Amino acid sequence: MRQLARLVVTGTVMCVTAGASHGAPSDNRPLTVVELFTSQGCSSCPPANANLINLSKRDAVLTLSFAVTYWDYLGWKDTFGKQEFSDRQIAYEAPLHQSGPFTPQMVVNGTKTVVGNNLSELTALLSTVSHLKGPAITLGRSRTEIGHGDVPRTAADVWLIQYDPNVIDVPIARGENAGSTLPHIHVVHALKRLGQWDGSSTAFDFSKAPDGLRTAILIQEPRGGPILAAATD
């Protein structure tokens, strides 16, 4: 695990919810959201991937795996990596008081962070957070409806996420993990900002997820702020 800013300075490479009419209904249980920022080119990331797989089995926990791109130069380009995923992690730097992004990082509800391969710290952190209690979200295959509620400071962003619910094994041919086959779960394939929620009831249409992928909606304060509510189909 290393912060990217430190990498630049030293040159050292190390990495340590009722249904809508547009499809199947979402589960309206309050959720805890755990985001893993990971890279197939980071030698410290496989244990974090394994931790996310175990965590995904918990009730009322939405786990999401975002593959970043800034380690691609080490010799292996992450097969799931996208710049917008790296940008999402970078947005967390200021509110989480970090000097740079690092892998493997887990962010819980947009407010707490931990090194993703440290299971004891992760377990301790999860014991201190509550499920999200924001506005109700109804999620169909191509439409989401958001109920009214209180906005803490300003209008919140509404994010559409499409992810693979299955465990995917990826053989790595080069780089720090060369020769390994790395399992992944809840790999995010698409991230899109649908618009803003200002506290009033509103709805957004979107293109339904490709076959085999699931959809999640996050309502989140701008610029890497706290996640207010989440739902998945």
pTM of this prediction exceeds 0.85: yes
User: pLDDT value at position 28?
Assistant: 66
From CA 184, how far away is CA 166, in angstroms rounded?
8
Main-chain dihedrals φ then ψ at residue 6, nearest 5 degrees: -65, -35
The number of folded domains in the chain is 1
Among the listed residues 16, 64, 23, the one whose alpha carbon sits nearest the alpha carbon of residue 161: 64
Which residue range is the domain that position 60 belongs to? 4-16+20-232
Based on the number of CB atoms within 10 Å of its own CB, is 227 exposed (0-12), middle (13-18) or buried (19 or more)? buried
Query: Which residue carries 């009831």 as its tokens?
Result: 201
User: pLDDT value at position 29?
Assistant: 78
Alpha-carbon Rg for the chain, nearest whole angstrom, is 17
* Contacts (Cβ under 8 Å, ≥6 apart) of 207: 142
Distances (CA, A) of 38 to 8, 16, 47, 93, 116: 19, 10, 10, 16, 9
User: pLDDT value at position 32?
Assistant: 97
User: pLDDT value at position 92?
Assistant: 98
User: pLDDT value at position 18?
Assistant: 33
- For the chain, 233 residues long, the average pLDDT of each consecutive 10-residue run is 39 39 58 98 97 95 98 97 98 95 98 94 93 95 96 93 98 97 98 97 97 98 97 96
